[in-house]
Amino acid sequence: MTPVYTVAQMRAWEDAAVATGGSYAALMENAGARAAADLFSRFETAQRLLVLCGKGNNGGDGLVLARHWAEAGWPAAVCLLLGENLSPLSAANLANLPPSVQQLPPERLPESDVVVDAVFGTGYSGELPAAVAALMRQINRQSGCNVALDMPSGINSDHGHIAADSFCAQITYAFQAFKPAHKLPEVQAYCGDIVCLDIA
Ligand SMILES: NC(=O)C1=CN([C@@H]2O[C@H](COP(=O)(O)OP(=O)(O)OC[C@H]3O[C@@H](n4cnc5c(N)ncnc54)[C@H](OP(=O)(O)O)[C@@H]3O)[C@@H](O)[C@H]2O)[C@@H](O)CC1
Ligand SMILES: [K+]
pLDDT digits (tens, 9 = 90+) for 143-197: 999 999 999 999 999 999 999 999 999 999 999 999 999 999 999 999 999 999 9
Looking at residue 96, what is its pLDDT? Answer: 98
Does residue 118 lie within any of the structural domains? yes
Predicted-complex ipTM score: 0.97
* Cα 81 from Cα 129, distance rounded (Å): 10
* Ligand 2: centre distance to CA 162 (Å): 13
Looking at residue 140, what is its pLDDT? Answer: 97
Task: List residues forming the annotated binding site for (6S)-NADPHX.
Answer: 57-61, 121-127, 150
Does residue 108 lie within any of the structural domains? yes
Does residue 192 lie within any of the structural domains? yes
State which residues form the domain around 166: 7-197
Does residue 16 lie within any of the structural domains? yes
| Contacts for 128 with CB less than 8 Å, ≥ 6 apart | 136, 153, 154, 163, 164, 165, 166
Does residue 73 lie within any of the structural domains? yes
Residue 117, ligand 1, Cβ within 6 A: no
Does residue 46 lie within any of the structural domains? yes
The closest residue, in CA terms, to atom 24 on ligand 1 is 124
What percentage of the chain carries pLDDT values higher than 70? 100
Q: Are 98 and 67 in contact (CB under 8 A)?
A: yes
- CATH number, domain of 177, equals 3.40.50.10260
| Contacts for 144 with CB less than 8 Å, ≥ 6 apart | 111, 112, 113, 114, 115
Looking at residue 55, what is its pLDDT? Answer: 98
The DSSP 8-state label assigned to residue 45 in this structure reads S
* Cα 74 from Cα 53, distance rounded (Å): 19
- pLDDT tens for residues 103-131? 999 998 999 999 999 999 999 999 999 99
**Overall number of domains in the chain:** 1
Does residue 2 lie within any of the structural domains? no
Task: List residues forming the annotated binding site.
Answer: 57-61, 117, 121-127, 150, 153
CA angle 120, 126, 130 (to 5 degrees): 75
- pLDDT tens for residues 4-47? 999 999 999 999 999 999 999 999 999 999 999 999 999 999 99
Residue 126, ligand 1, Cβ within 6 A: yes
Mutating to test ligand 1, I would choose from 13, 67, 124, 156 the residue with most ligand atoms within 8 A of its C-beta, which is 124
Residue 120, ligand 1, Cβ within 6 A: yes
